[in-house]
Chains A and B, each alone.
Chain A
Amino acid sequence: MKDFGFTMIKQRTIDYDQFDGRLLNEVLEMEPSFKVCLSCGGCTATCSAVDLVSFNVRRMNLLLRRGETVELESEIKKCMLCGKCMLVCPRGINIRNVIMLIKKSIPKYKTVTL
């Protein structure tokens, strides 16, 4: 995002009427296992990247479901794709594919949420 020299204040409520679900729907269609996340945080706990940078894999799910594509794009780049999270996930989610799908498709759907 271009820095215009002023900060944009994020809206405090989640406005579901403004929600752009295109990316979410695409990812869920290509990787249906992503539907069953129960937000246990096991993935974030085990993540190799969290020792090196502030990163939270579990939040990818939330960002995607709330349409926060700008933050999602900058966050998702931190994943090293090591696959440890998938060995921990109690729901057997194919997390690496989710990451790759988002990385691939996000430029198409990037929207600025104010």
Chain B
Amino acid sequence: MKHIVIIGGGIAGIETASALTDAGHWVTVIEKEAQVGGKLNNWSYLFPDFTPVDKIKSVLQEKCSEKDFSILHQTEVSSIHRKNGKFNIEISGEHQLEADAVVVATGYELFDARRKEEYGYKIYDHVITSADLEQLLLPNGDLTVAAGENPKRIAFVHCVGSRDEKSGNHYCSKVCCITGVKQAIELRKRLPEAEIYCFYMDLRMYGKRFEELYREAQEKYDIEFIRGRLSEASEKIDKSLLIKAEDTLSGRPLKMNIDLLVLLVGMEAGKGTASAAASCGIGCEDSGFLKTADSFLKSNFSEQEGIFLAGSCTAPMSVNDTILHARSAAQEVNNWLLRR
């Protein structure tokens, strides 16, 4: 029986583990947190059809409990060495695991919005990120702002920490556009009276039913889309916010008083990904995400033989794409092991 170690117990890690177990391999998942699911745990509903996250989570949980793979919780990889065609994996500085193949599924981290100081996250009271908003969108979430009232005017800012030289991230995080549309619609459902604006540079509705959702946001939910990047926000005495942008389509500077500002934060290769890359000698792209051996034909292969990649450690990815990428990773690992 071949042993496969998977680093990361998020969607990609669990999905790969499940598929490899089905193929008859012995699989161990190393997860740094106490629970599996990774970033999925911070989310409430998924685009483009508002699927409750719990639905995906419960499937993952089911796989974890029903399938015969083991999960090492609160464990981190200290080093990986290749020895006689196998991998020696040191975990949490104590134990050693021996594996025939390794799958890196360390995922992403959310951009820390404090790095865009001009937007005032953690400086002003009513500036939140898309991740913060996701918690508030749960049925018991409290959306009220100062004076206990619902916000009357809300603005979303697209591309916070993405497509931005100042954040050090030149790439597009792919999922924030549709996340913004999804969350704007959800807010509208909760706050029928509010005015909701999305400030975008480009709207990239690349996926299945994304464009339709955008159209619905305009048509059915009266979300206003303004093409212009927010330059800064300032806070007034009543804790409302004054934001500045250019309405680039009319070519004039724009100012707006709002009650709530939502920053659609992008994805970054996390610290876990960087350290995993360093410990097993696999390369990173300029973006910080892991390099794949070939962008078309070997998107699950790292530059190191026997080390595979799954999910958003290779590039920003939606939940959907992550599941597909993880399944293909399992397939590639299986094929590779059979070839040996």
Contacts and interface: CB of A to CB of B under 8 A. Distances in A.
Interface residues of A, number: 20
Q: How large is the interface on B (under 10, 10 to 19, 20 to 34, 35 or more residues)?
A: 20 to 34
Contacts of B163: 38, 90
Contacts of A41: 227-229, 245-248
Interface string A59-73: 100000000000000
Interface stretch (B56-64, B90-98, B148-156, B250-258): B250-258
A92 B166 contact: yes
A28 interface: no
Nearest to B162: A90
B277 interface: no
Nearest to B246: A41
Given A59-B251, A90-B159, A42 B246 contact: yes
A88 B253 contact: no
Nearest to A54: B252
Contacts of A90: 159, 163-166, 201, 229
A17 B165 CA distance: 35
A45 interface: yes
A92 B164 CA distance: 8
B189 to A, nearest CB: 30
**Best-surrounded residue of A39, A44, A56 (most CB of chain B within 10 A):** A44
A91 interface: yes
A56 B254 CA distance: 11
**Best-surrounded residue of A45, A50, A91 (most CB of chain B within 10 A):** A45
Given A50-B253, A56-B246, A59-B251, A45 B164 contact: no
A44 B2 CA distance: 60
Interface string B215-253: 000000000000111111000000000001111100111
A87 B164 CA distance: 11
A102 interface: no
B248 A47 contact: no
A39 B248 contact: yes
A40 B166 contact: no
A102 to B, nearest CB: 18
B26 to A, nearest CB: 47
Interface of A: 38-47, 50, 56, 58-59, 87-92
Interface of B: 118, 159, 163-166, 201-202, 227-232, 244-248, 251-254
Given A45-B231, A46-B231, A92-B165, 8 more contacts: A41-B228, A41-B246, A41-B247, A45-B229, A45-B246, A58-B248, A87-B166, A88-B231
